[in-house]
């Protein structure tokens, strides 16, 4: 849509000159010979920039400025004034004018000033458009699911969104913790401000403090210029601290101060920076266990855990799998220009049986992969990854060798053997990934490691006997 400019001046010569200057551009031009006519045009048209004379009979430039800001709050107003009345232009700027130019003016100066004003309004409109898109994209409707568990999460998110309370989002990797954080921010009173996301595990520990709180020039080797941190960027908005459990204890102490006082001192600095920031943190760790181990501050945990939101793993809400599949199928068909129809019933059954150690992220990755590789038609069981196909086979294979019809069984030994086979099976499915294997078995990673260590010791004792 072309940009629009309204020029108001009661001097015929000036109006004709400006008409000639701007008629050769792509700007949609409106001309007014009086302040009253300018107000009439403002009431009927969408105006981006107003270029108005200050001294006009009847309604003067200040009257045009006041009305323009009333009916088009985002438009910019440039005041034209005679050399001896600059104080009037200064008054106009205090009332919200973009700038002023004195008569007589150079054509280059007025076109430059109008160009800057039009650029500003264009950027502002684009920002509004992007924010509207972001709010829609991160609405509550984008938290997909029909299960009771996910509906409870959604209800809690709705309740906490418009507060400033600190939120701690808990859940395994891939459950959608950042999606929850974005839904909270974009449905809060801070939605028109920035959401700044920081993955605490992705930034080296020695750089994370500077990343969060900024640094002054010369704070450390390589700090050649002063730099603002993420907290300052998030002023009046929200900061999302993902993987908060990975943060070092010294940095935890500094974060605690920010939560308590809403202030901090940049690295190498001496002056306190005050901020107004809502904090949403997330972790896939059990912070209570980290506290016992001495890796996480208890006082920081209490500050973060004001409103805990626990996102259940996908294996605990299998009713959501068909709905999520439909959502991701539509998304990737649209993005890739494909016409994939979906999963056959037997393939869907495999999806429902699979334990999803990578959770919703893993499910989306599989749907994306199949849409890319198979342009249209239906997805068969054979199209699924081997680990998922295996889930449909006879699950009793772990019981092979346990037959009471062949005589008595030592229950303790049988239980140990059965447990070992389950662990081996989980490690095979997850290709040796102990984190995913533990999730698959419903265990903590430390518990799985202890079981593997104990099994290794038992085998060593048997070989030594």
CA 155, 306, 260 angle in degrees (round to 5)?
A: 140
Last residue of a domain, one of 365, 390, 415: 390
pLDDT attached to residue 328:
94
In DSSP terms, which residues pair with 51 in a beta bridge? 7, 78
Dump the DSSP string for 347-374.
HHHHHHHS--TTHHHHHHHHHHHHHHH-
279 and 174, same structural domain?
yes
420 and 277, same structural domain?
no
What is the domain-level CATH number for residue 379? Answer: 1.10.8.60
Half-sphere exposure (Cβ direction) of 125: Cα atoms closer than 13 Å: 16
pLDDT attached to residue 131:
57
**Structural domain that includes position 167:** 141-312
Last residue of a domain, one of 360, 390, 420: 390
Closest CA to 169 of 305, 48, 265: 305
In DSSP terms, which residues pair with 169 in a beta bridge? 282, 309
Dump the DSSP string for 244-305.
GGGS-HHHHHHHHHHHHHSEE--BT--S-EE---EEEEEESS-HHHHHHTTSS-HHHHHHHT
Last residue of a domain, one of 333, 363, 390: 390
Dump the DSSP string for 132-201.
HHHHHHTSGGGS---SHHHHHHHHHHHHHHTS---EEEE--TTS-HHHHHHHHHHTSTTTTS-EEEEETT
219 and 230, same structural domain?
yes
Q: Is the dihedral of CA 442, 445, 447, 452 positive or negative?
A: positive
Between CA 288 and CA 25 the distance in angstroms is: 65
CA distances from 189 to 14, 131, 136, 178 (A): 46, 13, 15, 19
211 and 307, same structural domain?
yes
Between CA 76 and CA 71 the distance in angstroms is: 12
Structure tokens at 11: 């001097």
296 and 155, same structural domain?
yes
122 and 147, same structural domain?
no
305 and 212, same structural domain?
yes
302 and 279, same structural domain?
yes
Closest CA to 53 of 23, 33, 27: 33
Structure tokens at 463: 């070989």
Query: In 418-437, which positions are buried (b, 16+ CB within 10 angstroms) versus exposed (e)?
Result: eebeebebbbebbeeebebb
Closest CA to 167 of 281, 246, 243: 281
Structure tokens at 439: 């999730």
Closest CA to 433 of 357, 377, 382: 357
pLDDT in tens, the chain (465 residues): 678 999 999 999 999 999 999 988 889 999 999 999 999 999 999 999 999 999 999 999 999 999 999 999 889 999 998 766 667 777 888 888 888 898 889 999 999 999 988 988 887 776 665 655 555 555 566 788 889 999 999 999 999 998 999 999 999 999 999 999 999 998 999 988 889 999 999 998 888 998 999 888 877 777 767 788 899 889 889 999 999 999 999 999 999 999 999 999 888 888 888 899 999 999 999 999 999 999 999 999 999 999 999 999 999 999 999 999 999 999 999 999 998 999 998 899 899 989 999 999 999 999 999 999 876 789 999 999 988 886 544 443 444 445 555 455 566 666 766 777 778 777 777 767 888 777 777 777 888 888 888 777 665 654 555
**Which residue intervals of 376-442 are DSSP H helices?**
386-390, 411-429, 434-441
What is the domain-level CATH number for residue 83? Answer: 3.40.50.2300
Specify the DSSP class assigned to residue 215: B
Backbone angles phi, psi at 31, to 5 degrees: -120, 140
Count the Cβ atoms, other than its own, within 10 Å of residue 257. Answer: 12
What is the domain-level CATH number for residue 203? Answer: 3.40.50.300
119 and 157, same structural domain?
no
Between CA 55 and CA 83 the distance in angstroms is: 12
Helix 148-161 to helix 177-186 angle (10° resolution) is 40
Query: What is this structure's pTM?
Result: 0.59
pLDDT attached to residue 396:
38
Residue appearing with tokens 């400033």: 164
82 and 209, same structural domain?
no
Domain tally for the chain?
4
Half-sphere exposure (Cβ direction) of 174: Cα atoms closer than 13 Å: 16
232 and 280, same structural domain?
yes
278 and 210, same structural domain?
yes
CB 418 within 8 A of CB 402: yes
Backbone angles phi, psi at 295, to 5 degrees: -100, -10
Give the distance from CA 23 to its chain's centroid.
43
Dump the DSSP string for 295-325.
SS-HHHHHHHTTEEEEPPPGGG-GGGHHHHH
Give the distance from CA 263 to its chain's centroid.
23
What is the domain-level CATH number for residue 442? Answer: 1.10.10
């Amino acid at each position: 849509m072309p940009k629009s400019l309204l020029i108001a001046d009661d001097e015929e010569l000036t109006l004709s000159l400006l008409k000639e200057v701007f008629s050769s551009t792509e700007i949609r031009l409106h001309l007014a010979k009086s302040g009253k006519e300018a107000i009439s045009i403002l009431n009927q048209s969408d105006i981006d920039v107003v270029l108005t004379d200050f001294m006009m009979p009847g309604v003067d430039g200040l009257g045009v400025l006041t009305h323009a800001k009333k009916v088009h709050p985002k438009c910019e107003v440039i005041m034209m004034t005679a050399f001896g009345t600059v104080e009037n232009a200064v008054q106009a700027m205090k009332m919200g004018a973009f700038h002023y130019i004195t008569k007589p003016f150079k054509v280059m100066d007025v076109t430059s000033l109008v160009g800057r004003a039009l650029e500003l309004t264009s950027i502002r409109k684009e920002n509004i458009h992007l924010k509207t898109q972001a709010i829609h994209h991160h609405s509550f409707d984008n938290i997909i699911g029909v299960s009771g568990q996910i509906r409870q999460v959604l209800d809690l998110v709705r309740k906490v969104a418009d507060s400033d309370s600190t939120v701690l989002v808990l859940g395994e990797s891939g459950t959608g913790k950042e999606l929850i954080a974005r839904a909270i921010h974009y449905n809060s009173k801070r939605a028109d401000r920035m959401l700044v996301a920081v993955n605490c595990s992705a930034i080296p520990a020695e750089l994370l403090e500077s990343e969060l709180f900024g640094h002054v020039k010369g704070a450390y080797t390589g700090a050649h210029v002063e730099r603002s941190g993420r907290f300052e960027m998030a002023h009046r908005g929200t900061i999302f601290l993902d993987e908060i459990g990975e943060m070092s204890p010294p940095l935890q102490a500094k974060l605690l101060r920010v939560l308590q006082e809403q202030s901090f001192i940049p690295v190498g600095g001496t002056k306190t920076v005050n901020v107004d920031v809502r904090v949403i943190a997330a972790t896939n760790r059990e912070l209570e266990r980290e506290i016992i181990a001495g890796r996480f501050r208890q006082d920081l945990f209490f500050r973060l855990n004001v409103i805990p939101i626990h996102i259940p793993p996908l294996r605990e809400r299998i009713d959501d799998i068909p709905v999520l599949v439909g959502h991701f199928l539509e998304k990737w068909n649209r993005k890739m220009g494909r016409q994939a129809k979906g999963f056959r019933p037997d393939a869907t059954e495999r999806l429902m049986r699979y334990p999803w150690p990578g959770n919703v992220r893993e499910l989306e990755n599989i749907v994306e992969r199949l849409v890319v590789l198979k342009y249209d038609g239906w997805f068969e069981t054979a199209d699924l990854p081997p680990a998922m196909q295996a889930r449909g086979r006879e699950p009793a294979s772990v019981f092979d060798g346990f037959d009471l019809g062949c005589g008595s069984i030592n229950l303790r030994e049988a239980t140990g053997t059965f447990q070992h086979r389950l662990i081996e099976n989980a490690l095979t499915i997850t290709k040796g990934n102990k984190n995913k294997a533990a999730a698959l078995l419903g265990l903590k990673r430390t518990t799985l490691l202890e079981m593997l260590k104990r099994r290794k010791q038992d085998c060593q004792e048997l070989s030594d006997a």
